Chains A and B, each alone.
Chain A
Amino acid sequence: MKTSSSLGRRRFLKLSGLAGAGLVLGSYLRFTGDAFAIEVRGAAEAAPAGARLGAFVRIAPDGRVFIAAHVPEIGQGVRTSLPMIVAEELEVDWRSVTVEPVPLDRAFSRQSAGGSNTTPANFLPLRRAGATARVMLVEAAARTWGVPAAECRAESGAVVHTPTDRRLGYGELVALAATLPTPPAESVPLKDPRDYKIIGRRIGGVDNPSIVTGRPLFGIDQTLPGLLHAVYVKCPVFGGKVVSADLDAVKKLPGVVDAFVIEGTRNLNGLMPGVAIVAKSTWAAFQARRSLTVTWDEGPRANDSWDGLVREAREALGRPGQQTPRNEGDVTVAIAGAAKTVEAEYVYPFLGHTNLEPQNCTAHFRDGALELWAPTQNPGGGQRMIAETLGLAPEKIRVNITRIGGGFGRRLESDFMVEAAAIAMKVAAPVKLAWTREDDMRHDHYRPGGVHRLRGAVGQDGALLAWDARFATFGNVSGRPGSGAGISGNEFPAHFLRDYRQEMSVLECGIPMGYWRAPGSSTLAWVTQCFFDELAQAAGADPYRYRLKLLENPLQPKPPRGGFDPGRMRGVLVDAAERAGWDGPALPRGRGRGIAFYFSHRGYFAIVAEVTVSPAGALTVDRVVASGDVGSPIVNPSGADNQVVGSVVDGLSAAWVQSDDVKDGRVVAGNFDAHPILRMPAAPKVVEVRLIQTDNPPTGLGEPALPPLAPAVCNAIFAATGKRVRSLPIASVDLSWS
């Protein structure tokens, strides 16, 4: 079979509709470097090299500006927003900027995308990177003219000598500038935010033109000459091993080049044992695996099931927790003396990430060195894991970072990279490992499920008196919660209530766990903000004002460690309630409003949801009003708004329709029929977003809008129907009313 690489350039251009369109093609060739093989093939005219001013900035003699995008793009918009920051301080027009992908490189301090950390970690350093280059260009101009630098200013990609109006473009200055000493980063003057021309503008994603015309961008799109295609078959039971495999039969199948067993390690998040099939095309590899017979040693966890884990969790909840993250005052006494007590159990399932681009990675091993093209959120982690697992020196592992078809935390794990590396080291050609959708759903690192039992008490006057919570969670090692499975002692209303206790027990299970967008927060917000609503109801109070009142009375005047600023939270809560018309006319039965807030990843969010539930129990989310405070400035309001609306839809999908059942040690669902995600008709009709720009440094938006969505919707369902949703997904709860 012919692989794409055997097509000549001319042929490719023809098929892609670009024949004879040299100019058009040129304008799309924003990517240089071998990470984008097909584009490179068409790239007749490479951009002139010019000179580099620091790790992020390169300027060509013709004045074009190239800015490195060093953080993986998973849809959070950083390939656009980070270069915007550099360009702002550099004083160039956005039109003159080309964003360049860069591989994993020590020149950049931090190249992972996670924890909504990218904006807070990069805002100041990138301003300094742009400003440093600007200062050097100004200095170069001053020397050229023999005038003091103070008489010169930078403007639109040029330096102007103010007294004489002489002007030199950056392209003319860069060669000299690059020879000057780099001033200390802290010494360079930064722009007054009032003078920002790029930061704060709605700027479309830099890859949009490529996305809408189908250019190769993603990990799965990588093509190299002589590329082979691989699948990797692992034991359906987590932690299982290969006993034997009928490799000879598979090797005889059409298109198959090789098949072999990889022994792997015991690390559930690393290189698990399996069988690799290498073929001439993806389809040949997918087909061959259907004929593969493997005898597995399913290991000790073959009896794990979600039902069983819930049973164990309930038993554990009958005992005091193994750990007590917080124990303030005396909840037992407070509850015993209270007018009203409320008790409830909240439970949520394990949940996979289901990135739309299944896990994949391309790798080429030659001359003792490995090169990868990886859709990874965590290139450094992948390099480390490969080095440790396969015994290669990190310097021998080059990681090219591709655009990524959805992160959500899944690609902080490096299993797909180490698998591709292990396969490539046995094949004398570049090889692309592609997981099937079924592989992807059944070999994820799941958001941990959990069971909570909560007790709360309110006084005669409705005042909240006590919060007593016990949490049964999961880990792969006894006593240690899995990624995103733990709880701190800081869950609201901690720091606002004198009698407060949080206990936790960790149950061992064999299901691999990993960070899932807003780890911990995405589920804990649902539990705590729904139960808080139950207490407001017991107090006969308005759920919005009951929250507000507590937020007005923190125990300590200053936010404690791990706590949040009550003033900022009140800001978003009041804003959301007012914009949603919380005090407007009451809604008829079957319609309801719910409110929730949450602090996570340094961001403050409040959400009001408006829902309709038909008497038969069909849910519609009519309107979502979200208010956030992630400081200021908002670097790219278009990307920011997209993140918040996306978090609302994602949060709704996760809460409403998604779950992963576990039976016989394996995840049951293999595709979108058994594990649905929200489709367009179920998306909210209206999502109204407002970001309040407070005088705080800017923080990330990939996660913090998501946590309050689920409790706002469930509280709205209660308002509409009188039914509390205490287990997820909502779709499995009967919402009918009469």
Chain B
Amino acid sequence: MPLALNVNGAVCPLPEDLDPSTPLLWVLRDTLGLVGTKYGCGQGLCGACTVHLNGQPMRSCVLPVAAAAGSRITTIEGLDPAGAHPVQKAWCELDVPQCGYCQAGQIMSAAALLAKNAAPDDAAIDAAMAGNLCRCGTYLRIREGIKRASALAAGGKEAVS
């Protein structure tokens, strides 16, 4: 039976000839055209491919698509398409990205962290984000960004950009 995925709230039937062991990452990118989720290592080492599976952060590069069928998948495109999620807003406010390549994964990890810990301290942030590499070294702004997102989610006033 052909597989179907539930991505960003839409049901997506997959082509019949799709190898069910294909990592979710490549199905998102090449089959569904959702290229916001990034390839960095293909081995679960860099976090660039992080998506949410039923709200949990997952490395989509090591997750066979068959194992993702039946779960609610959220990609960076679906986090909030208007960019209004507190993490997205904080990222823009603080100008977190440099090259930006890691940031989809960073944002998905950060959003998952805040969903279960609304006000993480430095240690909790470092622990939750340790799987996401940033080659450009934006870690300090990411720490700040998560705190800012936490404040925004708690109803904090938006800073003027």
Contact = CB atoms under 8 A, between A and B. Distances in A.
A4 B101 contact: no
B8 A15 contact: yes
A284 B130 CA distance: 30
B99 A4 contact: no
A661 interface: no
Chain B interface main SS type: loop
B102 to A, nearest CB: 5
B97 interface: yes
A405 B32 contact: no
B150 interface: no
Contacts of B102: 356, 405
B97 A15 contact: no
Given A17-B77, A208-B91, A283-B23, A437 B10 contact: no
Contacts of B46: 356, 672
Q: Which 7 A-B pairs have the closest CB atoms?
A: A214-B36, A649-B137, A405-B101, A4-B33, A75-B99, A214-B76, A75-B98
B34 A678 contact: no
7 contacts: A17-B78, A74-B99, A213-B77, A214-B35, A254-B19, A405-B100, A681-B126
Contacts of A207: 97, 100
Interface in A235-264: 254-255
Interface stretch (A216-224, A692-700, A723-731): A216-224
Interface in B1-56: 7-10, 12, 15, 17-19, 22-23, 26, 29-43, 45-46, 48
Interface string A279-307: 00111101100000000000000000000
B114 interface: no
Given A3-B31, A17-B78, A283 B99 contact: no
A3 B30 contact: yes
A436 B18 CA distance: 21
Interface stretch (A120-128, A162-170, A460-468, A639-647): A639-647
A21 B139 CA distance: 33
Contacts of A211: 91, 97, 100, 103-104
Contacts of A671: 41-43, 45
Contact of A683 (B17, B18, B93, B140): B140
A653 B138 CA distance: 12
Given A12-B33, A221-B35, A679 B98 contact: no
Given A75-B97, A211-B103, A38 B78 contact: no
Interface in A653-693: 653, 671-673, 677-681, 683-685, 687
B76 A678 contact: no
A15 B9 CA distance: 8
Given A212-B76, A281-B22, A284-B19, 10 more contacts: A1-B15, A212-B88, A213-B82, A229-B30, A282-B26, A405-B100, A405-B102, A646-B138, A650-B135, A680-B139
Interface string B113-150: 00000000010011101111111111111110000000
Interface string A36-49: 00100000000000
* Most chain A CB atoms below 10 A, which of B32, B36, B103, B126: B36
A390 B28 CA distance: 34
Contacts of B18: 1
Nearest to A202: B95
Nearest to A4: B33
B96 to A, nearest CB: 8
B92 interface: yes
B30 A208 contact: no
A663 to B, nearest CB: 21
A205 B45 contact: no
B100 A282 contact: no
Contact of B83 (A209, A229, A685): A209
Given A214-B37, A356-B48, A681-B127, A4 B91 contact: no
A602 interface: no
A358 B35 contact: no
A4 B81 contact: no
A354 interface: yes
A404 interface: yes
B99 A683 contact: no
Contacts of B76: 212-214
Contacts of A194: none
Contacts of A647: 137
Interface residues of B, number: 75
B74 to A, nearest CB: 9
Nearest to B31: A2
Interface residues of A, number: 84
Interface of A: 1-5, 7, 12, 14-18, 21, 24, 38, 73-77, 202-205, 207-209, 211-218, 220-221, 223, 229, 254-255, 281-284, 286-287, 354-358, 403-408, 434, 436-437, 638-639, 642-643, 645-650, 653, 671-673, 677-681, 683-685, 687
A212 B91 contact: yes
A282 B133 CA distance: 22
B140 A687 contact: yes
A218 B103 CA distance: 12
A632 B123 CA distance: 38
Nearest to B100: A211
Nearest to B19: A254
A642 B82 contact: no
Contacts of B92: 204, 208-209, 212
A642 B32 contact: no
Contacts of A212: 76, 83, 87-88, 91-92, 97, 103, 107
Nearest to B90: A212
B18 to A, nearest CB: 6
B122 to A, nearest CB: 8
A12 B10 CA distance: 11
Contacts of B7: 15
A58 B29 CA distance: 34
* Most chain B CB atoms below 10 A, which of A203, A209, A255, A356: A356
Contacts of A683: 137, 139-140
Given A38-B35, A220-B38, A437-B40, A681 B130 contact: yes
Contacts of A680: 125-126, 129-130, 132, 134, 139, 142-143
B95 A204 contact: yes
Contacts of B138: 642, 645-646, 649
Contact of A208 (B32, B39, B41, B95): B95
* Most chain A CB atoms below 10 A, which of B8, B91, B136: B136
Nearest to A18: B81
A678 B30 contact: no
Nearest to B138: A646
B91 to A, nearest CB: 5
Contact of B95 (A217, A286, A406, A639): A639
Nearest to B30: A281
